[in-house]
Amino acid sequence: MSRPVLWIPRRVSDATLARAQRDYEVITKDTDTPGTAAEIIAMSAQADAMLPCHSELFTADVVAQLDPRLKIIANHSVGYDHCDLQALGARGIVVTNTPDVLSDATAEIAMLLMLGAARRAVEGDRLVRTGAWDSWSPSFMVGKQVTGARIGIVGMGRVGRAFATKARGFGMQIHYHNRTRLPADLEQGAVFHESLETLLPQADFLSLHCPATPETVDLLNAKTLAMLPMGAVVVNTARGALVDEAALLQALAQGHVAAAGLDCFKTEPGGNPAFAAHDNVFMLPHIGSATRATRDAMGFRALDNIDAFFAGQAPKDRLV
């Protein structure tokens, strides 16, 4: 009996690829470049399953052109805003994601970005690296202290809670906004805010951990940024769509936002070159989950979902 054909459009971890090749006929590319719409449509006639990343876009137009052979899209990501779930569901294509396994890795990057932005890491690194560090005084490179500060967390799902755990290690006061209030055992003393309007004024630091949905696009904009205390620090390790980048740039230029730590952008790959002019913006190329252990776990979680599907079982992480 022939094995199902699996298309993997991007380089994945060695362990993930080895397992996939053990159990499936695998078509893959040795590249970090996202699969294009044309490639996705063409491969749907050759593959029974796909294991894409967040930058492979399954828009309604692409989905309408998919070959009936394609049965399952097992995303190598937690986020699924790149998939038109309604269109895929109408075509009978199963879609899954990889929750749980990347929470700590992403929370680590959020903590790195928060500390780096607050303590002027970009500027300090440049001074030392270029040989421009030639003086010192008590007023030199003074930043914003994290310990004991108030942190506002938007989205208290798995990643948000993992970040809150790490923030407690710095003695931070945890405030959060979520669609629903957490039970006490998960809340762990954090202060719940039903709206951004009450959360933002409390946030010396603000960290975004909510999904990108039509309701959360440009969640941080000129109006909401103005609600933050003067000198706040903004961190985004969730999705670039959450931030109105022009508004954030203006808030940084005006000094209302003291610094920002960004791991995701409206345009990816590439980011927003306008941020590069600001030493108080600490940027990373969307590597929140980029640890060896997490990449293996994400790949294996996606394969678990594919395995279940072809075994006639319900994939654990089915979205549609």
Catalytic residue status for 194: no
Domain 103-283 has CATH 3.90.1150.10: no
**Percent of the chain having pLDDT more than 70?**
100
Catalytic residue status for 286: yes
Instruction: Classify the C-alpha dihedral 209-76-244-253 as positive or negative.
Output: positive
Q: Which of 37, 99, 42, 123 has the alpha carbon at shortest distance from 305?
A: 99
Q: State the catalytic residue, choosing from 239, 245, 295, 301.
A: 239
Of the candidate ranges 18-22, 69-73, 126-130, 267-271, the one whose mean pLDDT is the lowest: 267-271
Enter the tokens of residue 134: 């030639």
At 82 the three-state DSSP class reads coil
Domain assignments of the chain as residue spans, ordered by start: 5-101+292-310, 103-283
* Strand spans (E) along 135-256: 150-154, 173-177, 191-193, 205-208, 232-236
Enter the tokens of residue 148: 């004991």
| Domain 5-101+292-310 CATH class label | alpha beta
How many CB atoms are located within 10 Å of the residue 69 CB?
A: 13
Q: State the catalytic residue, choosing from 187, 256, 268, 278.
A: 268
What's this model's pTM, rounded to 2 decimal places? 0.93
Q: What is the pLDDT of residues 169-188, one digit of tens each?
A: 999 999 999 999 999 999 99
The region that residue 218 occupies, defined by phi over 0 for left and psi between -120 and 50 for alpha, beta otherwise, is left
Provide φ and ψ at 311, rounded to 5°. -90, 5
Do 5-101+292-310 and 103-283 have matching folds? yes
The interaxial angle of helices 292-310 and 103-118, nearest 10 deg, is 150
Span 295-315, mean pLDDT?
A: 98
Q: What is the pLDDT of residues 207-218, one digit of tens each?
A: 999 999 999 999
Catalytic residue status for 268: yes
Cβ-contact 206, 182 below 8 angstroms: no
The interaxial angle of helices 103-118 and 121-129, nearest 10 deg, is 70
The predicted structure's pLDDT at residue 139: 97
Span 229-252, mean pLDDT?
A: 98
